[in-house]
Amino acid sequence: MKLERLELAPFGPFTETVLEFFSVTPGLHIIFGLNEAGKSSSLRGLRALLYGFPERTPDNFLTPSNQLRVGGVLVKEDGARLEFYRRKRRKSDLLDEQGNVLDPQSLKDYLGDINLETFQTLYGIDHASMVAGGKDILAQRGEIGQALFTAGTGISSLKHMIQELEEEAGALFKDRGTKQRINQQLRDYKSLKKALRDATLKPADWSQLRKQLSETEAHKKELEQLSLAKRAELQRLERLKRVIPGLGRLEHLEQQIVALGPVVVLPDDFGGHFQEVENRHQALILSLEQKRSRLTSLRSQLKNISTDRAPLDHREMIEDLHQRLGRYRKDVADRARLDGMRIAQRKEAGRMLEQLKSDMTLENIESLRPILMRKQSIRALRSRYDRLEEKKKQYRNQKAEAERELSLLNSARLQLPSGVDFSDLESAVKRAQSLGPLDEQIDQAVAAIDELTETCQRDLQRLGIWQGGYKALLIAGFPLLETVERFERQDNELQKERTARSDELSREQHDLQTLLQEQQLAGYGEQQFTERTLAEARHKREQGWELLKRQWLEGEDIGSEAVQYDPDQQLETAYEKQVQNADEIADQLRQEADHQARAVNLAARIEAARSKIEKLKQAVDAIDESVRQYQQQWQILWQDLELEPLGPAEMKSWLMGIEHLRRKVEELGSKERELHQREKIRQQHQQKVIALLPDNQTGKDEQDEVLSTVLLKAESILKSAADQQKQRDALQQQESHYLKLQEQSSHGLALLEEDLTRWRDDWQKLLVELNLGYEIVPGDVDDLLDTISHCFETYDKAADLQSRINGIDRDVGKFKEDAETIFSLITPDLKDRDLEQGVLELHGKLNRALQEDERFQLISTQIQELSSEIERDEVERARLLELLETFTKEAKCQDVRDLHVAIKTSDEYKKLKQHRDEHYESLLELCETIEISEIKRQVSAVNVDQLPSMIENLTREIESTVEPEIEQTLKRIGEITRELKSMDGTGRAADIASELEVTGARIETMVEDYVRLQLAIRLLREEIERYRSENQDPILQSGSEFFSRLTGNSFSQLQIDIDDSGNTIIVGQRDNGSRVGVEGMSDGTADQLYLALRLATLESRLARFEPMPFIVDDILINFDDQRTETTLSALAALSEKNQVILFTHHQAVVETAQRLDSEGEVVIHQLRDAA
């Protein structure tokens, strides 16, 4: 189960805050918030969502308690989702997404039996508990059982807890102590007893009264025994009265079972499975008939479809023609409009041309266009002269300066060496540099390969068993983990079954031996006890009590007497056994009124026990044979690998380690291939660069140098060449500049000499070019130029319109040509029709062909899918027939039709048998400890009709005779006791006796407390040892990986060792094989060890239980950057399988997580300042 969303609306400082925890993997989710941002409130909100609001909450400072609300979405491994909300209420606090009250069982299905305390202990860790766990491991000096139990249960003060129990028990009693409370009370009891002896009077009258008291008490006991015997008989008769109706019903049920005859008892779910298979078979037959009919119909429809392929083959041309049809219609309509506009523009241009010159037409209008090209120069004629004289002086100065600079530049160029083309070398260097720091990458890859190779070899050596190299793991055919798990389950089942059968056989053999001993001792049936037996047992009990008083009260050494009393057990245990034995004999004497009648029953029980023992021995032998076959199959499973397998549980763990190692070996191969490719690329680029170096720059050692060195040399050459080229380019640029300046100056002077003459001639030339036939003054030139310009604009517009008309004519012609072409290819008869109508009909024909083709493809697909379904149904039908045949054989029927009768008979038999067994169990409860056969015998020996009167008479005798006599005897005992007390005038003996009784009661209470404490210590140590034996191997293996990751590979794995006191402890092993005990670890490393074991325990629970979010509350506050990074890496690795939610207020943790390159997802959730 994982948390997909947490909604805090409103809660604490939040009003409408939603945290989305969606990720592909369970993921590591980091909830980051600065101080006062609400990190602690969000954690309390998560707990409130899962387990409800506490009675008093600190998160109601903004919102009233009755309006607090949290919501969320939980997702199980099977994909089931639960969206719900919780409000602060004592009842009906759970709501669904619509706001309706939600049944708490819906949430319990996701949380299981885990309450809030267990959730915080097993699935939560904060800095304080991690530090306490690390200190506890240091205090335990690495004792493995306590270390694993501490991490597995989340109890971080286990050693302190055991010490407290031992200290509390030690404060009560020590064997030779003086200040302990029980020891002090024992001394007081001894003193009081001595004082009682001193204060007690012993006259003759007192002795006589004591004798009378003893005799009266003995008579009272006789009466009580008589009462017990009478009441036992009364109980027997009432028992017979209760069971007589049930015996008749039991006999009737047994007769009904016999009447059924031989019955094949079928499994409980047999009928349901058979009915399901039969229904599926009938439904499948009907479905097959329908599908075959449908297939025939589809094939008939397919034959009736005729598709014209010609339109489909030219689909693009037809659709293109149809799309162009609109443009064609528009072009035909636009052509007439544009032609009218063109004619109007030409008329306007002719009119303006006639104003300029009456004899000029549009055919020779172009003769006027050069005038427009020169209108600016015409307008500037009068201002040119002054500028020409000034320029003439400038050109002379520029020419002299240019000739001087050209001479200097020519001398500088002759001093530079000739240039060489290094473009190829530059390209090769750039290509090599684009690969990045290839030498560094290769060195890192080599180091990583060496480290991974060493890791693989170390892991292979640690795993053991495997004789080949680690690379051989990739081609070895290891059994599947599921297969090993199946063997493990089979092994557990066989061992469990054999243990059960063996235990049952032992119990039966013990019971048989007991029965035989009883028969031998009694001679006629069960063991028969007498008053003498009871007296001996009570005497034995009193002997034990006297020894205990002498030991506890007198302080005597009774070692030899205690051994003589019971050589096999401690005195306290032996005394308790004798007390129990005496009580049992007394109880049995009260119940044994009909021992002799049970003799026959005892013989029958012995015979039944012998028969059952023989059957159990056969069952044990059969199980042993199954074990032998299982072990043989287990060996065969591994024989191809040429290794000697351990047990399934060990091999399961080994296989998981091997699989992890195989992934590392695959990673190693990938890294080696990548390294080879990089080295090849480096060699190619290195050779290319060396080949392009100048001959005078190439030495003999370049081939042995790394690529970076060669590139540095090439870059130096390129830089020198680039500097020289820059100098040449600069000189060339300056020379070009001055040559151009020289040329411009000479040309400018020549032009200036001509400009004055042209200036004088330009005005007359203008008049000649205008050829207007009349003289104009310069002031009229602007109006003339405007008229000419407007005339040309109108004339050019008419020309543009003509161009557009020509384009329309080309488009229309092309459309007609394309239409006639497609008509001739598909439907020649459309050539004689209207062009537009023909295109429309052709497009309609294409649409119809497309529809028919789509229908053809659809029916073909349906036929193919239906044929596949029929084939699958036929296979399923054959399988169902085989299942029906299996059902028939299992029920031992001739055919399927007989199965219904067999199922009905089997169900009736099981129902009757269940009723009989239930009735039999009810009778057993009514019969109490008496066998039903004995009850039947007793019923047959009495007159059933007389039972009520017999019960009534016996009841009257007890109530009217026996009980009143007992009351009179008790009164007499009270009178004698009062007389004895009155003989002590001071009453001191009575006071001492009373105080003695109180002290004894106080001792008894303290002893009970002491026994409970010792029992708690023993149970806790046994549970620690059990947890260690069951979880040591898998948790250590997983914990080694987490510890290595958490310590940045400072430790390679965790190992088991023995300390000087013979205790099994946990130690860390470094890469060089040296081992470090927990006492040699720093506090931080001990914290990491505790965290590694916690993570390993959590990972091991995933194989047995539904995952739960692991809540980590700011455990990194005292970690440096390296430990923070390794811890986040370990949490990210765990988050591939189990959701991890980390709360922190440190920005550095977030930055480290963002840099983390992990296989799992790391998602950052930032809480904004809620204050």
How far apart, in whole angstroms, are the C-alpha atoms of residue 59 and residue 151? Answer: 32
Distance CA 108, CA 112 (A): 5
Measured CA to CA, the distance from residue 710 to residue 1149 in angstroms comes to 42
Reported confidence tier of residue 1159, pLDDT bands at 50, 70, 90: low
802 falls within a domain:
no
Domain stops at, among 1087, 1105, 1123: 1105
Considering the domain architecture, whether residues 951 and 1015 belong to the same structural domain is answered as: no
> Does residue 688 carry a pLDDT above 70?
yes
pLDDT exceeding 90 applies to what percent of the chain?
1
Residue type, 384: R
Phi, psi (degrees; rounded to nearest 5) at 101: -65, 135
Per-residue model confidence as pLDDT tens digits over 170-224? 787 877 777 788 888 788 888 877 777 666 544 556 667 778 888 888 888 888 8
> Is residue 544 located within the same domain as residue 640?
yes
Mean pLDDT of the 909-930 span: 77
Q: What is the average pLDDT across 1150-1160? A: 73
Least confident of 380-389, 653-662, 738-747, 1047-1056: 380-389
pLDDT at 272: 84
In angstroms and rounded to an integer, the radius of gyration of the C-alpha atoms of the chain is 55
Q: Which of 126-140, 657-671, 773-787, 1041-1055 has the lowest mean pLDDT?
A: 773-787
Cα–Cα distance for residue pair 880/975, rounded to 1 Å: 91
* 717 Cβ contact list (under 8 Å, min separation 6): 422, 425, 693, 694, 697
Whether residue 1093 lies inside any domain: the answer is yes
How confident is the model over 910-922, as a mean pLDDT? 79
Q: What average pLDDT does the segment 839-858 reach?
A: 79
- pTM equals 0.35
C-beta of residue 911 within 8 angstroms of C-beta of residue 248: no
Q: Could you write out the DSSP letters of every residue in 338-398?
A: HHHHHHHHHHHHHHHHHHH-TT--GGGGGGGHHHHHTHHHHHTGGGHHHHHHHHHHHHHHH
Claim to verify: residue 493 and residue 636 sit in the same structural domain: yes
Range of the domain at 454: 438-478+649-693
Last residue of a domain, one of 632, 661, 693: 693
DSSP string, 226-276: HHHHHHHHHHHHHHHHHHHHHHHHHHHHHHHHHHT-S--PPPTTHHHHHHH
Q: Which of 744, 770, 796 is the last residue of a domain?
A: 770
- The pLDDT assigned to 596 comes to 42
Please give the average per-residue pLDDT across 258-267, as a whole number: 81
* Same-domain status, 1010 and 1087: yes
Q: Does 696 have pLDDT greater than 60? A: no
- Do 940 and 1028 fall into the same domain? no
Residue 948 preceded by cis peptide, ω within 30:
no
pLDDT: which is higher, 32 or 672: 32
1137 shares its domain with 1114: yes
For position 1057, which CATH number holds?
3.40.50
* pLDDT at site 593: 41
Residues 915 and 976 placed together within one structural domain of the fold: yes
- Binned at pLDDT 50, 70 and 90, residue 149 comes out as low
pLDDT (0 to 100) of residue 417: 66
497 with 608, same domain: the answer is: yes
Same domain, 519 and 571: yes
Instruction: Give DSSP secondary structure letters for 99-128.
Output: S-B--HHHHHHHHTT--HHHHHHHSEEEHH
Strand-pair category, 1075-1077 with 1064-1069: antiparallel
- The answer to whether residues 424 and 692 touch, using CB atoms and an 8 Å cutoff, is yes
b vs e for 1133-1146, b when ≥16 Cβ sit within 10 Å of the residue's Cβ?
Answer: bbbeebbbbbbbbe
The reply to whether 472 falls in a domain is: yes
Q: Please, are residues 182 and 1128 in contact by the beta-carbon 8 Å criterion?
A: no
Provide the pLDDT for residue 72: 93
In a domain, 319, yes or no: no
The Cα 45–Cα 53 span in angstroms is 8
- Mean pLDDT value of segment 11-35: 84
Segments in 156-203 forming alpha helices (H): 158-172, 181-199
3-state secondary structure 988-1004: HHHHHHHHHHHHHHHHH
792 in a structural domain: no
pLDDT band at 1141 (very low <50, low <70, confident <90, very high): very high
pLDDT in tens, 932-959: 777 778 777 777 777 788 888 888 888 8
Residue 122 domain-assigned (yes or no): no
For the ranges 447-456, 776-785, 1149-1158, the one whose mean pLDDT is highest = 447-456
Bigger pLDDT: 1129 vs 1030: 1129
Q: What is the pLDDT of residue 267?
A: 84
29 DSSP β-pair partners: 1141, 1163
As a whole number, mean pLDDT of residues 582-609 equals 63
Mean pLDDT of 920-928: 73
Contact 565, 571 (CB under 8 A): yes
Check if the beta carbon of residue 87 is closer than 8 Å to that of residue 93: yes
DSSP type of residue 961: I
At 621-636, the pLDDT tens digits run 888 888 888 777 787 7
Burial class (CB in 10 A: 0-12, 13-18, 19+), 585: buried
Give pLDDT, residue 442.
80
Q: Which residue has the higher pLDDT, 357 or 733?
A: 733
Distances (CA, A) of 748 to 374, 387, 391, 475, 1146: 21, 12, 8, 90, 78
Residue 812 included in any domain: no
For the cut 70, the answer to whether the pLDDT of residue 554 exceeds it is no
| Angle at alpha carbon of residue 793, lines to 789 and 796, rounded to 5° | 135
Whether 610 and 746 map to the same domain: the answer is no
Report the 10 Å Cβ neighbour count for 466.
19
Query: Helices (DSSP H) in 13-76: which residue ranges?
Result: 39-51
| Amino acid occupying residue 442 | I
In a domain, 119, yes or no: no
Question: Alpha carbon 629 to chain centroid distance?
Answer: 38
Of 224-233, 751-760, 1028-1037, the least confident = 1028-1037
| Structural domains in the chain (count) | 6
pLDDT exceeds cutoff 60 at 657: yes
- The pLDDT of residue 702: 53
- Mean pLDDT (the chain) is 77
Same domain, yes or no: 603 and 583: yes
- The answer to whether 1051 and 1067 are in contact (CB under 8 A) is no
> Could you report the per-residue pLDDT of 486-509, keeping only the tens digit for each?
877 877 888 888 888 888 888 888
- 224/218 Cα distance (integer angstroms): 10
Q: How far separated are the first and last CA of the chain, in Å rounded?
A: 33
Query: 905, 911, 931, 906: which is closest to 253 by C-alpha?
Result: 911
**Domain containing residue 32: CATH number:** 3.40.50.300
CA dist list (Å): 804 to 349, 350, 813, 830, 918: 19, 21, 14, 30, 107
Contacts of range 972-976, beta carbons closer than 8 Å, 24 or more positions apart: 972/216, 973/213, 973/216, 973/217, 973/220, 976/209, 976/212, 976/213, 976/216
pLDDT at 302: 79
Query: Is there a single domain that holds both residue 104 and residue 243?
Result: no
**Lowest-confidence segment of 73-77, 140-144, 416-420 by average pLDDT:** 140-144
